Amino acid sequence: MKVAVIQMVSGADVSANLRQAAELLRQAADQGGELLVLPEYFCLISQRDADKLALQEPLGQGPLQRFLADSSRELGVWLVGGTIPLSCDGATTALTSNQVFNSTLVFSPKGRCVARYDKIHLFRFDNGREHYDESEVLAAGTVPVHFDLPSTDGHTWRIGLSVCYDLRFPELYRHHAQAGSHLLLVPSAFTHTTGQDHWELLLRARAIENLSFVAAAAQGGLHDNQRRTWGHSMLVDPWGKVLAQRPEGPGVVFDELDFELLGHCRQRLPALQHRVL
């Protein structure tokens, strides 16, 4: 299956971000990409996290969801829409009116939304110079989500969803492996500070321990708000080999994932069958 992860440097202008995303998606589709993945916050990285509240949409309607649906249909691709802010209306958990879900939506080549994942783990970091606390604006999801993609390669790929900070919690990815996932997606906006030390290490570890492909679409560069993200969007095979990556700046990271390689790795080292806990 031909997979493309999109790297962006999103800013405070939503329209400009969508134009950049549309161009990169078209480039990926022109290369033959069947599954395209946008990064976390592809639609907006602005001065204040609270700006996401004004951009929130109810599930099933709004310009961001129309953009994703139209893009997948017009390009004839499976599209994983990074993340967008979805309203908490109707949620069963106790939430405030000043929170949204940071949600990944998956669209089929017909433009139909086939899966939704709300980011479970919310990032918090403070080293005295940088401070982040996503829980001030975001509500945490509670349910792992995967979807099935019948590929033109003749195989049905089971694909597990995650977002950014989730990467530090291996139990989520083991849950996906237990459910039979072959490919793990990680749309992200890793900080430069944490990314330079942990990003590749964590992605390769998740691939190796679950004997799964990993596709990570990242934000990568200096944003309008002077935040710098690490980038290094990449594709990793089940043996932990980095197949392709892009250090910084907008662009497309593309490769063809070999389903037979996955089966070979799992047969050669049947670690998923050896679990005792």
Secondary structure of 129-151 in the HEC alphabet?
Answer: CCEEEHHHCEECCCCCCEEEEEC
Confirm if 137 and 54 have CB atoms less than 8 A apart. Answer: no
The closest of 103, 111, 48 to 79, measured between CA atoms, is 111
Lookup: tokens for 211: 């004997």
Indicate if 2 belongs to the active site. no
Which of these is catalytic: 2, 34, 40, 248? 40
Could you tell me how many residues make up the chain?
A: 277
Main-chain dihedrals φ then ψ at residue 273, nearest 5 degrees = -90, -10
Indicate if 40 belongs to the active site. yes
Which of these is catalytic: 2, 119, 134, 248? 119
Main-chain dihedrals φ then ψ at residue 88, nearest 5 degrees = -90, 5
Which residues, listed in sequence order, are joined to residue 242 by a DSSP beta bridge?
236
- d(CA 181, CA 176) in angstroms, rounded, equals 5
Which of these is catalytic: 34, 88, 134, 164? 164
Indicate if 241 belongs to the active site. no
Residue type, 212: S
**Annotated active-site positions, please?**
40, 119, 164
